[in-house]
Structure 1
Amino acid sequence: MSERESMEYDVVIVGGGPAGLSCAIRLKQLAADNNRDIGVCVLEKGAEIGAHILSGAVMDPIALNELIPDWKEKGAPLNTPVSEDRFLFLTEKGARGTPNWLLPACFHNKGNYIVRLGDVTRWLGEQAESLGVDIFPGFAAAEVLYTEDGAVAGVATGDMGVARDGTHTPHYQPGMELRARYTIFAEGARGHLGRQLIARYRLDEGRNPQSYAIGLKELWEVDPAQSHPGLVMHTAGWPLDSDTYGGSFLYHLNDNLVMVGLVVGLDYANPWLSPFEEFQRYKTHPAIRTTFQGGKRIAYGARALTAGGLLSLPKMTFPGGALVGCEAGTLNASRIKGSHAAIKTGSLAAEAAFEALAAERSHDELTAYTSAFETSWLHDELYKSRNFKQWFKKGRTIGTVMTFVEQALFKGKAPWTLRHNKPDHASLQPAAECPRIDYPKPDGKLTFDRLSSVFISNTNHEEDQPVHLTLKDASVPVKVNLAQYGGPETRYCPAGVYEFVKDETGSDCLQINAQNCVHCKTCDIKDPTQNIIWIAPQGGEGPVYNGM
């Protein structure tokens, strides 16, 4: 086997999303301001910057204003200011609007922008490259490197050209080591290296378990008569029951484009529930379906998101590096926004790393990052909504009422703090104890099946490579998941990756169609026995989202 080549940088950043790119930009800004030369690189597992980015998204520009004050002059694609907020509570056939004066501040979007976050991310990548950042798309970080003292010393990319049986194909190339004085992890929610770091350094001790949701999204080109650029609409209620956390978004962009999605909390109890099917059913509601009549669906995707808030944040630093953005879990679920938090934490981590580099330090803990975060406007914002998810774990009615009480009446300064200690995967109930859910068949016009949806996500994986969805114990899916929970992986996966089939003896077995995987990480989170582990496939593979 060929030895891995090695490259040295001052800072290596894993993940080319808003958090990672903002970190790189801020480092180079500080270097220029102080007449220093520092080496910064960004590794991105997607085929190009923005390929794996999927978000609602309504963006608060507060952090971008700080990072790049002249972003408008530089052509940042924030082109659709929010012009109207609507919030509906849905029943199966009806809809009840909420007056804006009754909505807590977290649901007001004046001054924000409806964006295609993939486009914003590509623009951030261009800004980073113009400042001298080395960006390597198509390279997945597969391994954390450590010093002899146990500090993070960089990462190694995965080997390329490995066959499914582990042998090397003629296209084999060994991975490369990228060593750094500091390594910043910005992989997004449930990053597979971040997960290892949290466990190794016990970064989540004393915290609430992180709480997650799955967000499913489609992009539609609608009839011009149904287009209302700047309209932001959220709903709660149907099709989800009152004990299941979630809600929808419907955002109107320019050019007759509408983004629609459903968020479902991964702490749901009924294993017969399918987030994908709930999303398709949602679009059939009388108050929703008219938007899409005469329209065309042009893109689809899904991604897990963090929803635990401030009380679920792990310690964000460790010797040699830090966690930023959704890798740490800084999304504000009450506002349904995370990109501003990603940009802010990336910037704060950059400032702490630059200070350490200027002091000629290496591989120590960036405590200045933690201190800066705790005194930032972002910490204040997350503190105000610290109980949001905990209330909704008690049901929609209690969650709705207490969110209004805390944010509208107490202005986020309620004299109580709630805790929980149950991870999402432990919430599933046995299938025999739960009502089955019968979902209607898709019509191919408004509602669709998984495979046709995966097709328009532009997802691709080389089939003859090691499966990146690994099982700790191959017997568990049948003996436990199928026997006790009715095989929930066939329903919580939004891409048709998992299916139970009969083998040559007529026995049940789990078939993993890894080539369908859209990298949402839901299986890694929701599997009731935590038997499924998501690892990065070969670099450049997975979905290629077009400005999602």
Structure 2
Amino acid sequence: MAFDVVIVGAGPAGLSAACRLKQLASDQNQPLTVCVVEKGAEVGAHILSGAIFEHRALDELFPDWERMDAPLHVAVNDDQFCYLTNQYNAVTLEAPFIPSSLENIGNFVVSLGNVCRWLAQQAEQLGVEVFPGFPACEVLYDDKQRVCGVATQDMGRDKAGNPKAEFAAGIELHAKYTIFAEGARGHLGKQLIKEFHLDSGKQPQHYALGIKELWEIPADNHHPGKVIHGVGWPLSNTHSHGGSFLYHLDNQQVAVGLIVDLNYHNPYLSPFDEFQQMKHHPLFAQHLQGGTRIAYGARAIAKGGLSSLPRQQFPGGVLIGCDAGTLNMAKIKGSHTAMKSGMLAAEAVFDELILAHEQTAPPYDRKFKDSWLYEELHDTRNFGAEIHKFGNVIGGAMATLEQNWLSKYWRWTMKDDEPDHACLDPLSRHQPIDYPKPDGVLSFDKASSVYLSGTQHEENQPCHLKLADPTLPITQHLSQYGEPSQRYCPAGVYEIIEVDGEKQFQINAANCVHCKTCDIKDPSQNITWVTPEGGGGPSYPNM
């Protein structure tokens, strides 16, 4: 199948690019075929974010979004930032003592999945073809090594890779330009960065793991628009970085979660168990009391900022949104930046199409440098490195000083050059962490959590978690790090089991929620995440 533009991923970046392309084509009365392929069974099925939504990019894309019934219904009206000193106490920090980027009044508490479903409706009304359940598994190149489209995943292969009775081959989608918007640590984006050396001269991309639950709480405990962010305990116990959040949405729902930076050193650390422990802190427990957990999910977050942002254009396409790493971690927001990135990419690609060009490198970089997106990322470029190098207290104070008082004079850029996977220490440097057993009221186990994610995969298909060296987890990682995948995976995908007295590494691929943490944190970079059959993975309703 041939299109003018193929977009990989129906998240905020990809759908904004699709909508903007069709708007430009309509404005200039130009015929333009655009298609979006999405690996989830439906648009929004794999979308997970906090989410506090800044509507600046949406204002540009659809100025009448309020009249168009966009799912932005709950404005932030109570914004609280706390330092959790221990498991019982917290100190609320006032505005002068926290970075200005963390202020949220004027933003909205949303389900990003529902925002994407709404964007997909707008895209289809503009004439975009949206194909959920079709994961792009391969980049296609022409004879000059320019990107000319993608191929979708085969359906109906067994575990050995042999065709089953219901086998259906993937489809080649040819395009004059291809836009990649797969989200953080995109499978194809990772290949493109390597193929075209897009990260040359850049610091490594840095990531965090975000774990989130959706709760339904009693009406008398519900305060729509209330927002709480926290740092400190429990991650401070292991000198790790990250932050907690709790947002009151509509319909008596609360989103609660923990973001764990993946540059942590302690191999005994389990982000999942840190999160379950966090919910027992009185700051969060008081909001969840009497409630029912209704959804669970996890996703990696690209948080390196401007210093880690690769060159985004290449012959035949553009890398956008979290696939490139446009999230502004200083704001803990990436939806508006992803949307703007997609809109800029659409404009760059459309300029080339008007000139009757094909497979050139679109002039994205020039448009990016002239945009508020670049200005915003530049102004907060040091935030992540300050926290990583100096911790939440000193690093946070530096970020506050830089943003609130010295922004006009702060000229230098701080770098963080150690990749996340290289930060893990040997077991010998740390003591095991004794996590409390879940009580089934506020804290839970992984099995029940994965069940609430709606995750499903066809069991008899090739494993989508590839090991470069299948022996490495047992021969090296077990003695050095206690095979950390057992703990960093938030879905119980990896296990060490005994068979006939010998230890074996087991992959429960059907549990995978597509968070990509294993692809990022494995200390030997031995695990590569690839796309499973279309429609597999989590099924998030309102995440």
The TM-score, its normalising length taken from structure 2, stands at 0.98
Quote the Cα distance in structure 2 between the aligned partners of 1:267 and 1:63: 31
Change (3 A) 1:472 1:413: farther
* Residue in 2 that maps onto 1:283: 279
Shift of 1:25: 0.2
Cα distance in 2 for residues equivalent to 1:292 and 1:419: 39
2:121 to 105, 108, 126: 126
Residue equivalent to 2:423? 427
Q: What is the rounded CA distance, in whole Å, between the counterparts of 2:499 and 2:200 in structure 1?
A: 43
User: Do 1:384 and 1:413's aligned partners in 2 also have CA atoms closer than 8 Å?
Assistant: no
Measure the CA separation in 1 of the matches of 2:291 and 2:255.
12
What are the equivalent positions in structure 2 for 1:180-219 lying under 5 Å apart?
A: 180-219=175-214
Q: Residue 19 of structure 1 is aligned with which of 10, 13, 16?
A: 13
CA deviations on 1:332-384 (whole Å, 9 max, x unpaired) are 001000000011000000001111001000001012x1111111111111111
Q: Which runs of structure 2 are paired with 1:54-133 in the superposition (5 Å)?
A: 54-90=48-84, 91-133=86-128
Aligned to 2:47: 53
User: In the aligned structure 1, how far is the partner of 2:172 from the partner of 2:284?
Assistant: 50
- 1:334 is aligned to 330
What is the CA distance between 1:105 and its match in structure 2?
Answer: 1.3
- Say whether residues 1:179 and 2:178 are aligned partners: no
Aligned to 2:268: 272
- CA shift, 1:479, in A, is 1.2
Tell me the CA shift for residue 415 of structure 1.
2.0
Which shifted more, 453-462 or 283-292?
283-292
* Cα shift at 1:39: 0.5
Counterpart of 1:42 (choices 36, 44, 65) is 36
Alignment pair present for 1:220 and 2:215: yes
Deviations 1:214-267 (A, max 9, x none): 000000011122211111110000001273110011111122111000000000
2: CA distance, partners of 1:193 / 1:435: 38
User: In the alignment, which residue of structure 2 is the partner of 1:32?
Assistant: 26
> How far off its partner does 1:165 sit?
1.3
Answer whether contact 1:270 1:428 (CA < 8 A) is retained. yes
Partner of 2:245: 249
Kindly provide the CA deviation profile for residues 129-186 of structure 1, in whole angstroms up to 9, marking residues without a partner as x.
Answer: 0011011100000000001001000000011000001111111000000000000000
Where do residues 411-422 of structure 1 align in structure 2 (5 Å cutoff)?
411=407, 413-422=409-418
The gaps in structure 1 that reach 5 residues or longer are 1-6
Q: Is the 8 A contact 2:206 2:308 kept in 1?
A: yes
Instruction: After TM superposition, give the deviation of residue 412 of structure 1 in Å.
Output: 6.4
Query: Is the 2:98–2:397 Cα contact (8 Å) retained in structure 1?
Result: no
Q: CA deviation at 1:84?
A: 1.3
Q: Does 1:10 align with 2:4?
A: yes
Aligned to 1:451: 447
| Aligned partners of 1:492 and 1:523 also within 8 Å | yes
Partner of 2:59, secondary structure, is helix
CA RMSD of aligned residues (A): 0.9
Check the 8 A contact 1:86/1:100 in 2, yes or no: no
How many matched pairs? 540
Counterpart position of 2:515:
520
String of CA shifts for 1:18-55, please: whole Å, max 9, x gaps.
Answer: 00000000000000000011000000000000000000
Aligned to 1:354: 350
Question: Partner amino acid for 2:177?
Answer: Y
How far did 1:413 drift?
4.8
Asked if 2 retains the 8 angstrom alpha-carbon contact of 1:385 and 1:412, the reply is: no
Deviations 1:110-131 (A, max 9, x none): 2110000000000000000001
- Picking from 384, 387, 406, the partner of 2:402 is 406
Match of 1:396 among 389, 392, 395: 392
Indicate conservation of the 8 Å contact 2:257/2:275, yes or no. Answer: yes
Q: Distance in 1 between matches of 2:129 and 2:251?
A: 34
TM-score (norm 1): 0.98
Aligned with residue 369 of structure 2, among 369, 374, 388: 374
Letter in 1 for 2:261: G
